[in-house]
Structures are given as structure tokens and as C-alpha cells.
Structure 1
Amino acid sequence: MTLSAEGAAQPDTVWQRYADVDQWASWSPQIKKVHSVGRRLGPGLSGMVEALGGIRAAFVVEAVDRDRRTWTWRVRLGRIQIRLHHGVKPQGRGSTTSLTMYGPGLVLLAYAPLARLALHRLVQP
């Protein structure tokens, strides 16, 4: 499943919001806090995302391409695992961000509305 959003935020701004894990809660309403040793996005970064309702999901970043502004991570909640691939590109005077998700169909359908909201917030100035 692929989702995308366009907004007025510049691509470098959007990328920095991804790259600094301490900013994730500012644009992703389902995330309360990120627990990890590193604070910058990089391959091998792992930790726990604390979500609304006290839900904690383990994650590991698989790949980061700063030049292309793309990154991929795996998130696990119990026996459920999803893989998420993010990208940021210039679009007009702002940017577009995309998210391609791989995992159980019903889980992706349930998560999609929150993901859409987060993507729209991510690209706002």
C-alpha cells in the first residue's frame, strides 16, 4: 500500500523531520516518544516507538539514503511486523512525501488513516 502527501514545507525541512527522531512526535500524532540510543536516522538504528494508549512497538532502520531522501524501517508489535519505505521529493514550491507499507493487509488498512494524517502534517510548513 502506498500513500503520499504534498505540502509547502521544503524537502530539506521534511527530511530533517524524519532524520531527527525527537521530531517524530511533532508531526506523527500516534507517536508519543521514541526510545533509542541514537537520535539521528541511520542504518541499524533500533529502539521502541511509544504510541498512544501505551502501545510500544520495536523498530529497526534497515536503510537510509540521505542524497535521495529515502529510508526504510521494520516495525514489530507482537507477532505483527510491517516494513515501511519513506521518501521525500521536491514538488512545485514545496515537497511530496510517500510511504509504501508492506505487511498484513488488514493491519495496513487499519493503520492507513493515521499514516495519511502524519504524512500531511509532515509536509506542512
Structure 2
Amino acid sequence: MWSFEHSIDAAVTPAAVWSRYIDVDTWPAWNAGMEKVQLNGPFHAGGTGEVTMTGDARAPFTLTEVAVDEGFTIEVRVGPGVVTRSRCRIAALPEHGCRITHSVELDGPGGDEMGAAAGPILSGNITRGVDEVAKAAAAAV
């Protein structure tokens, strides 16, 4: 299994970050490589949708975990037996603000090889995505 994680501390509330997460229309603004996201129904565990990446590559996804003001996980099947899990987490800090953590993992046969090939792109997008969602949350307040 290949994985990458990045966190920052931001001077925003968990609710402000959560508002960006549940508004899937805004995902392309803070998620490099995404052009469009469609959610088929409410934002809840078991919900499904489709993301359109740059170049018109489309991938169906499933929300496997959702916790209000805490985060969510989506899964995308990317090959025979290989799953991409993307996690977005929010943790309130004791004094003010919150820690925002995004991670991605490629799990299954060939996950390590796929990660070795796509890892630099995926990790760069994750790092940038955390920074951008924090800015978007601050701007929305």
C-alpha cells in the first residue's frame, strides 16, 4: 500500500472547513486536477458521485465515512482490486482554529507500483489542497 498525508493548522473553525467539504461544487477550486464533481444525493456515508478530472477522465466515487465537522473518506476503484482512499479530516485546536489533514492511499495489488508512478502528482495535489481549502474556508467566513 502506498500513502501520503499532509496537515496544516489554520485559523478557521471546523464548521468553516466542513462547509467547503460538503459543497462539492467548490472541490475543483481547492483540489488540483478536478474539473467537476457531481454528488448523487446528500453528503452522507454510502453516498455516491462522479469526479471529472482534467482531460475529461471520469471516476465514480463512494463516500465511505462522513462525520459532521470532523471529515470524510471517499473511495475510488482505480484498477483490478486497487482502491484509492482519500481522507479529509478536521480537528479543533485547543486555543483557536483547527488542524486540517488530507491523505491518500492506494490499496490493493499494484498499489505500491501505482503510488510510485503517480505519487509525486498525488502528494503535490494533497499538499496544495490542504492549503487551498483552508484559504477557501477563511474567505467564506
* 2:14 paired with 1:11: yes
Residue aligning to 1:90: 92
Aligned equivalents of 2:119, 2:45: Cα separation in 1? 24
Aligned equivalents of 2:9, 2:33: Cα separation in 1? 20
Runs of at least 5 residues in structure 1 that lack an aligned partner in the other structure: none
CA positional deviation for 1:36: 2.6
* 3-state SS, counterpart of residue 16 of structure 1: helix
CA positional deviation for 1:8: 2.6
Provide the aligned C-alpha RMSD in A.
2.0
- Residues 36 and 70 of structure 1, relative CA distance in 2, 3 Å threshold: closer
Residue aligning to 1:48: 50
CA positional deviation for 1:6: 2.6
Residue aligning to 2:123: 112
Which structure has the larger Rg over C-alpha atoms?
A: 2
TM-score (norm 2): 0.75
**1:7-43, Cα deviation, whole Å (9 max, x unpaired):** 23322110111112122122223211112322x4211
Number of aligned residues? 123
CA positional deviation for 1:51: 1.3
Q: Percent of aligned positions with the same letter in both sequences?
A: 25
**AA of the residue aligned to 1:71:** F
**AA of the residue aligned to 1:46:** T
* 3-state SS, counterpart of residue 85 of structure 2: strand
Runs of at least 5 residues in structure 2 that lack an aligned partner in the other structure: none
